[in-house]
Amino acid sequence: MLDSRPLEDPTTIERSERRRRQRSLRWLLLGIAVMMAIQAAADVLLTPSWDYRFVISLSMGGVALLSHQLLKAGRGHWVPPLMVVSSLFFAGWAMCSYGSVRAASSLAPLGVVVLAGTYLRLPGLLATTGACLLMLASLTWAESAGRLPEARMAADFRYWVMASVVVVVVGALLRYTRQATDEAYLRRLNQVEDRLRLEHERDQSFRRFGRIFRLNPNALLVQRADTQAIVEVNPAFERNWGYPADQVAGLKAEFLWADDEQWQAHNRLLFAQGNTDWRPVRWLRSDGRSVDALVYSELNDDPGGPLILTTVADRSATVA
């Protein structure tokens, strides 16, 4: 088995996972901002002065930095939708500017879908996937119908930078997803291990209690605290008081008391302080004879509900 981790509260686990998610997203946003700056620099240096495509990269980098600040300000719930929508918009803008759906920016919808799958819920992922498919279908039709500008698709440094940005982003997102999955798997394994250990200890405790209960020379009976019904009696109880275990199981223990007032007083004391002192009472044997007895009861916790463990001694036999 694995080495167990300390038991964690579910709210603590949720907070720690939220912090890890936000930390990974902050690093991802900073990486996107840096890579978009490199892309913008490449566009400025390698394109004519009238080419405005560097604005696309700068805008995407600006959105990444804005999202980073939103995370620091505690408004992280806006960041994933903002990044998904803006990435999709700028990817479509870039493909239109290059004049072809086959440009390097056509890889961006793949990264957008991975981003949505990592940080959004299922409805958001489905909506993002549908939007990507619709955008690609529209641009494919527009290019085939000659509605886009003339394609300039040179396999240059800018193509490599854009493709590299998408590959790095997808790799970072998949790495985070793998780490989150491994963490959840380890937590699950530790929960299973702790449960197996607790069940083993419980079974050992039950077996130990069962041996003590059966071999105890004192008469013992176990009752449910809510109904006073007898759950079990030990062999000593059967021998000393003459009641077979199968006949008294399920019966309310009141029939054992000769004096109802003593029965009521005993219960009031038991439920008031959780146990009673040894109390002299009158009890009934199976043949109907009333004898003096000493009774001690205490409440015990049990997964099925609290139980009453009662020890009974025949005073006449003790005196003799």
- The CATH number that applies at residue 240 is 3.30.450.20
| Structure tokens belonging to residue 181 | 């999955």
Q: Is residue 285 located within the same domain as residue 163?
A: no
- Give burial (CB, 10 Å; 0-12/13-18/19+) of 117: middle
Chosen domain end from 160, 192, 224: 192
99 domain residue, yes or no: yes
130 domain-assigned: yes
| Residues 159, 297 within the same domain | no
Does 233 lie in the same domain as 184?
A: no
The CA distances from residue 65 to 158, 162, 277, in Å, are 22, 18, 73
SS3 call for 87: helix
Same domain for 245 and 158: no
231 neighbors 249 (Cβ within 8 angstroms): yes
Q: What is the domain count for the chain?
A: 2
Same domain, 186 and 220: no
118 and 264 share a domain? Answer: no
- Name residue 144's amino acid: S
71 shares its domain with 113 = yes
What H or E segment, with its residue span, contains residue 133? helix 122-144
Domain assignment present for 157: yes
Query: Do 141 and 168 form a contact (C-beta atoms < 8 A)?
Result: no
pLDDT at 38: 87
Q: What are 141's two structure tokens? A: 């039709």
Q: Look at the block and give the residue holding tokens 């463990």.
A: 309
Give pLDDT, residue 293: 92
Would 106 be classed as within a structural domain?
yes
Is the same domain home to 27 and 135? yes
CA-based nearest residue to 285, from 242, 253, 317: 242
Question: Does residue 17 contact residue 180 with C-beta atoms inside 8 Å?
Answer: yes
223 and 187, same domain (yes or no): no
> Are residues 168 and 307 located together in one domain of the fold?
no
Task: Quote the pLDDT of residue 56.
Answer: 87
Q: By residue range, what is the domain housing residue 247? A: 216-319
Cα(320)–Cα(313) distance, integer angstroms: 13
Do residues 295 and 311 make contact, with C-beta atoms less than 8 angstroms apart?
yes
Question: Looking at the structure, do residues 187 and 118 belong to the same domain, yes or no?
Answer: yes
Question: Does residue 180 lie within any of the structural domains?
Answer: yes
CA distance 101 to 132: 12
113 Cβ contact list (under 8 Å, min separation 6)? 125, 128, 129, 132
Per-residue pLDDT of the chain (320 residues; tens, 9 = 90+): 445 556 666 677 677 777 888 888 888 888 888 888 888 888 788 777 667 778 888 899 999 999 988 888 888 788 889 999 998 998 888 888 888 888 878 888 988 999 899 888 999 999 999 999 999 999 999 988 888 887 766 677 778 888 888 888 888 888 888 888 888 787 778 778 878 888 888 788 778 877 888 888 889 999 999 888 999 999 999 998 999 988 899 999 889 999 999 999 999 999 999 999 898 999 999 888 899 999 999 998 877 789 999 999 988 765 44
